Amino acid sequence: MSTTMSVRFWGVRGSIPCPGPGTVRYGGNTSCVEVRCGEHRLVFDAGSGLRMLGNALAADPRLIDIDLFLSHCHIDHVIGLPFFTPAFAKGNRVHVWAGNVRRAGGVREAVGRLMSYPLFPIGVEAAQGTVAFVDFDPGEVLHPRHGIAVHTAALNHPGGATGYRVEYGGRAMAYVTDLELGGGATDPALLALVRDASLVIIDATYTDAELPDHVGWGHSSWQQVVRLANEAGVAKLCLFHHDPDHDDAQMDRIAAAAATARPGTLVAREGLVLDI
């Protein structure tokens, strides 16, 4: 069995999709990241980028069996679910995992609210594939497929969010969004999630200059996550969850400054593929 591991970005924005001429190069879709572990496919978040992933999967004649992990259920991270084509095809299987939502009735209830009157014309029951909803508590270690371990931790975000660390074939990558780092000591659980990872994809919505106007909004600056990566011994850092008001020109400036501050730092863009 193959032990290769790779990542593809289908949506990299936060808060709201922002299509238009100013976001062509980095992309305007909200969070959706595909992680391939050998023949297994894990997907992190169901933002508007999930629609494009679904269309690509629908072109494959083979049946689809994937695991979809939600960081949380804010609208920009689930808006793609009603448009995920594979869930509506017989024989396909989609496992939707989420932490932090038991107190709201669980992930099945959250998605049901999204796909119900007056917000949407059809309900979850319209899916002809098998859609399984799995609730867990942050801090648990999940084993969605043989040989894959997914470590989880609670993140500092309004309403709560979950960060993930995927370990497979001797490699580790972390997906950490939405997160407000603040100015104090780093949460030990967060440090454990990202420590010595080959790749960390992390919320870097703002710049340090923008932070004072966004305290309590649940997001971090690229300068903060560079400091975290240095503290945790991260091999490769990838900035993610870009502010919808940061156009391509500003993202270019952030990319250049971040690469100077920490050589090798990447800025996520739609279509980017990384081998781990």
- Return d(Cα 97, Cα 164) in angstroms, integer: 11
- The angle at the Cα of 273, spanning 145 to 63, to the nearest 5 degrees, equals 45
Instruction: Show the low-confidence residues of the chain (pLDDT under 70).
Output: 1
Beta-carbon neighbour count of residue 192 at 10 Å? 13
Helices (H) and strands (E) in the chain, counts: 6, 14
- Return d(Cα 12, Cα 213) in angstroms, integer: 22
- Return d(Cα 119, Cα 214) in angstroms, integer: 28
CATH topology for the 5-275 domain: Metallo-beta-lactamase; Chain A (3.60.15)
- Return d(Cα 274, Cα 115) in angstroms, integer: 33
- The H or E element containing residue 171 is strand 171-176
Q: Per residue in 95-149, pLDDT tens?
A: 999 998 988 899 999 999 999 999 999 999 999 999 999 999 999 999 999 999 9
Q: What is the pLDDT of residue 3?
A: 84
Beta-carbon neighbour count of residue 109 at 10 Å? 14
Going from N- to C-terminal start, the domains of the chain cover 5-275
Q: What is the pLDDT of residue 249?
A: 98
Q: What is the pLDDT of residue 60?
A: 86
- DSSP-derived 3-state class of residue 162: strand
Beta-carbon neighbour count of residue 221 at 10 Å? 22
Global confidence as pTM: 0.97
- DSSP-derived 3-state class of residue 167: strand
- Tell me the two tokens of residue 94: 């989609």
The secondary structure of residue 269, as a DSSP letter, is: -
Q: What is the pLDDT of residue 62?
A: 86
- Please name the residue that has the structure tokens 């396909």: 92
